[in-house]
Amino acid sequence: MDYDELKNFCNSTDYFAQKQGIVLQAIGPGYARAAKDIRPEDISLSSSIHCGTFYCLSDIAANAALATTGYYGSLVSFDFRHFASGRSGDTLTAEAQEIQHQHKLYAYEVRITNQDHLLLSTGTLTYLLTDQPILFSMLF
């Protein structure tokens, strides 16, 4: 599998990630790294980064790591822990690493840090692999 081609495919066809300002930076077997610069619209009423921002970043990174199987998957479970918040102007990085797979279930651990490498959140995401292969020539 050409991982640069997969990274480019994900970045060019994931319109939700584009709208959120999330960019896939690296991808390899069972691994992906995505980043996002925090904008004023990512800040909640409590003046901290909205939790949905963390969830989106986690899902996009883990889903990209899953894509290294060559197949699409559906999220079946998401266990999330939040340790610290951030502020507007921060850069968040999510790293997803496969921790286990059995049959068609794939589990990924995601760690989100800020530009100072402070651990903000962790999550475990589990996906059910589908029978639908990822076709890089497909346009959405």
Task: Spell out the per-residue pLDDT of the chain, length 140, in tens.
Answer: 889 998 998 999 999 999 999 999 999 999 999 999 999 999 999 889 999 999 999 999 999 999 999 999 999 999 999 999 888 899 999 999 999 999 999 999 999 999 999 999 999 999 999 999 987 654 33
Domains in the chain: ranges and CATH:
3-133 (3.10.129.10)
For tokens 């997803």, the residue is: 96
Range 46-53 contact pairs with CB under 8 angstroms and sequence separation of 24 or more: 47/87, 48/85, 48/86, 48/87, 49/85, 49/86, 49/87, 49/90, 49/92, 51/82, 53/20, 53/92
For tokens 């990512």, the residue is: 42
pLDDT value for 7:
93
pTM of the entire structure?
Answer: 0.92
